[in-house]
């Protein structure tokens, strides 16, 4: 039998951690509840280059024709549907991928050119390339050595 030092605050901390997890799961991150109701989270990455905003979304097992992409103002929305497999329910041993719809809307960080947007789908990853509007693209101004701007002499 091993002796263990009694720490009265340890039990209080574990109770607090349990309560924090309860509230976090219920109110802050209701992912389990939403998944059971049919809504799906769509994991995505978004980054920007000098020329465009790039969005990558994981859509394993989804056919491109089952995905709808729209841009309204500065909000990108990706909607789609996971289709039912051709396996009867009584044959499943484990089933974690459920059929149903998903949707994800994100605010774009900058205005883009909707008419020049491109979408590619490869190996379950949807890649959107959204060119930035001309007004916000960075512009380099070259300095000419030894020249004076007309009308101003130093």
* Tens-place pLDDT, residues 99-109: 788 889 999 99
Q: Are residues 30 and 47 in the same domain?
A: no
Q: Is residue 149 part of a domain?
A: no
Q: Are residues 58 and 124 in the same domain?
A: yes
Q: Are residues 96 and 53 in the same domain?
A: yes
Q: Are residues 64 and 118 in the same domain?
A: yes
pLDDT of the residue at 147: 58
* Closest C-alpha to 59, from 129, 130, 123: 123
Q: What range does the domain containing 124 cover?
A: 40-136
Q: Are residues 122 and 75 in the same domain?
A: yes
The residues near 99 (Cβ < 8 Å, ≥ 6 apart) are 81, 82, 83, 84, 85
Q: What is the pLDDT of residues 4-62, one digit of tens each?
A: 676 666 665 677 677 777 776 665 544 444 444 344 568 899 999 989 999 999 998 88
pLDDT of the residue at 119: 95
| Assigned token pair, 152 | 């101003």
Q: Is residue 73 part of a domain?
A: yes
Confidence of residue 84 (pLDDT cuts 50, 70, 90): confident
Q: Are residues 46 and 81 in the same domain?
A: yes
Ranges assigned E (strand) in 31-74: 44-48, 52-58, 67-72
Q: Is 128 exposed, middle or buried (0-12, 13-18, 19+ CB in 10 A)?
A: buried
**How many domains would you assign to the chain?**
2
68 vs 85: CA distance, rounded Å: 21
């Amino acid at each position: 039998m091993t002796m263990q030092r009694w720490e009265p605050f340890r039990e209080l901390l574990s109770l607090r951690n349990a309560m924090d997890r309860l509230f976090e799961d219920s109110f802050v991150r209701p992912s389990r509840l939403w998944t059971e109701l049919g809504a799906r989270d769509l994991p995505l990455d978004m980054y920007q280059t000098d020329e465009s905003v790039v969005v990558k979304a994981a859509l394993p097992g989804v056919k491109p024709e089952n995905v709808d992409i729209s841009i309204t103002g500065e909000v990108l929305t990706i909607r789609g549907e996971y289709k039912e497999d051709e396996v009867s329910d009584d044959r499943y041993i484990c089933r974690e991928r459920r059929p149903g719809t998903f949707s994800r809307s994100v605010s774009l960080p900058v205005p883009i050119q909707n008419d020049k947007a491109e979408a590619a789908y490869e190996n379950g990853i949807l890649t959107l390339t959204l060119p930035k509007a001309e007004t916000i693209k960075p512009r380099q101004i070259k300095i000419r050595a030894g020249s004076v701007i007309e009308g101003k002499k130093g």
